[in-house]
Amino acid sequence: MSNATSSDYQTTGPANQSTGQCSGDITLSARNLTRSFGNRQVIHNVSLEIRRGEVLGLLGHNGAGKSTTLQMLTGCLLPDDAEKNESSIAICGIDLLHHPVQAKAHIGYLPETPPLYRELSVNDYLIFAARLRGIKSAAVADALAQTRQRCGLETVGNKIIGTLSKGYQQRIGIAQAIIHRPSLIVLDEPTVGLDPTQIRDIRHLIRELGNSSSVILSTHLLGEVESVCDRVEIMQHGKLIYGDTSEHMQRQGSVSGFIISLRNPPALGELENITGVSSVEQLSATQFRVLHAPDVNPGDTLLQLSAQHNWQLEQLTPLQATLEEVFVKITSEEQASADLARTGEKQ
């Protein structure tokens, strides 16, 4: 029985360990996903599409339905009307709902909590994960060495997983998701619980993975989307409310301005008089929030003036829009356009 199933996977030897690679350009296409728990509908008509080499960020607050969506995309949950063919999920062109075994060979999934057998050693666990995805035993050693190197696990191979820190456990979780080189990598909040250096390393790794495969990652951190994602889908109350490239989204939410601190600050009026500055707010004795029109950046002028008048500039940080602000902006725009449409219908 086991032989019959493993022959479905296309692994032949050490040279070809890319079990999960498929030829098509679109690695995931999901249509009309709907899901209820009891009477409560948590996901409403979600449709997604991802191309090879794309990193998609699924952004949303806790409880927005990100994890449920990802669980459906990886076959851990079935959409509501799976039997009625109203929704469909195709991984590399293979229908996940009707041919789950073949389709899942192309997926690597890191759930919210890394699925680790804590009593096993790191090597044993990763070998199990690789074999589970159909990598032939001859190719396992290669895949293991490569994955450990990519995820920074070289030094902990023989340690028992339960004895390792949260950061290592998270990395092992990522390692099991990529060891079979899947076409589609699904990461549910991959950087939670990591320290800043590890976060940087993992983001770097995700970017790298995005070159050869497609990656979906869910997060509630805007910074994560900015640094690694090509495209963003914002999710709220189980609906996708906004989707665009991540640069566009940042522009949507960005506030033009910066925070400056001057050790020898001038009067407030002097700052306000700089061309382009629209308003200045004093935050502390030395700190100011300077807002300006989006098309003129008074940063250069400010630097020159600071040097001329010896204001002793210590810091100049562009204002970052928070997810909250982007949300508010996007959702209020959605609301406004809906209202507009409604009044238009009435007239």
CB of 22 to other proteins, least distance (A): 13
- Number of residues this chain uses to bind other proteins (CB under 8 A): 40
- Give me the phi and psi of 320, to 5 degrees please: -100, 135
Question: Which of residues 8, 25, 208, 314 is near other proteins by CB under 8 A?
Answer: 8
* Cα→Cα distances 35→12, 68, 73, 77, 257, Å: 38, 8, 12, 9, 42
Question: Which of residues 12, 101, 200, 339 is near other proteins by CB under 8 A?
Answer: 101
Question: Which of residues 24, 45, 61, 120 is near other proteins by CB under 8 A?
Answer: 120
How far apart are alpha carbons 82 and 97 in whole angstroms? 7
**256 closest CA partner among 281, 284, 286, 276:** 276
Binding-residue pattern over the window 177 to 216 for other proteins, x denoting contact by CB under 8 A: ----------------------------------------
How far apart are alpha carbons 186 and 109 in whole angstroms? 5
Binding-residue pattern over the window 133 to 172 for other proteins, x denoting contact by CB under 8 A: xx-------------------------x------------
Is the CB of 182 or the CB of 210 nearer to other proteins?
182
Question: Which of residues 25, 119, 270, 339 is near other proteins by CB under 8 A?
Answer: 119
Q: Which residue has the tokens 């080499």?
A: 53
How far apart are alpha carbons 302 and 276 in whole angstroms? 10
Provide the residue type at 309 as one letter: H
Question: Which of residues 31, 44, 51, 131 is near other proteins by CB under 8 A?
Answer: 131
Is the CB of 35 or the CB of 52 nearer to other proteins?
35
- 292 contacts other proteins (rule: CB under 8 A): no
Cβ atoms within 10 Å, residue 60? 25
CB of 179 to other proteins, least distance (A): 12
CB of 193 to other proteins, least distance (A): 14
Question: Which of residues 74, 183, 198, 306 is near other proteins by CB under 8 A?
Answer: 74
- 95 contacts other proteins (rule: CB under 8 A): no
- 122 contacts other proteins (rule: CB under 8 A): no
How much of the chain is in helix, strand and coil states, percent to nearest 5? 40, 25, 35
Question: Which of residues 24, 115, 243, 299 is near other proteins by CB under 8 A?
Answer: 115
How far apart are alpha carbons 229 and 246 in whole angstroms? 7
Using CB atoms within 10 A of its CB, is residue 3 exposed (0-12), middle (13-18) or buried (19+)? exposed
Helices (H) and strands (E) in the chain, counts: 12, 14
**262 closest CA partner among 277, 278, 282, 279:** 282
Pairing relation of β-strands 277-282 and 214-219?
Answer: unpaired
- 176 contacts other proteins (rule: CB under 8 A): yes
DSSP conformation class of 113:
S
Is the CB of 151 or the CB of 262 nearer to other proteins?
151
Question: Which of residues 98, 118, 251, 263 is near other proteins by CB under 8 A?
Answer: 118
**180 DSSP β-pair partners:** none
Is the CB of 238 or the CB of 257 nearer to other proteins?
238
* Contacting residues toward other proteins, per CB under 8 A: 1-2, 5-6, 8-9, 37, 71, 74-78, 82, 100-105, 107, 109, 111-113, 115-120, 124, 128-129, 131-134, 160, 176
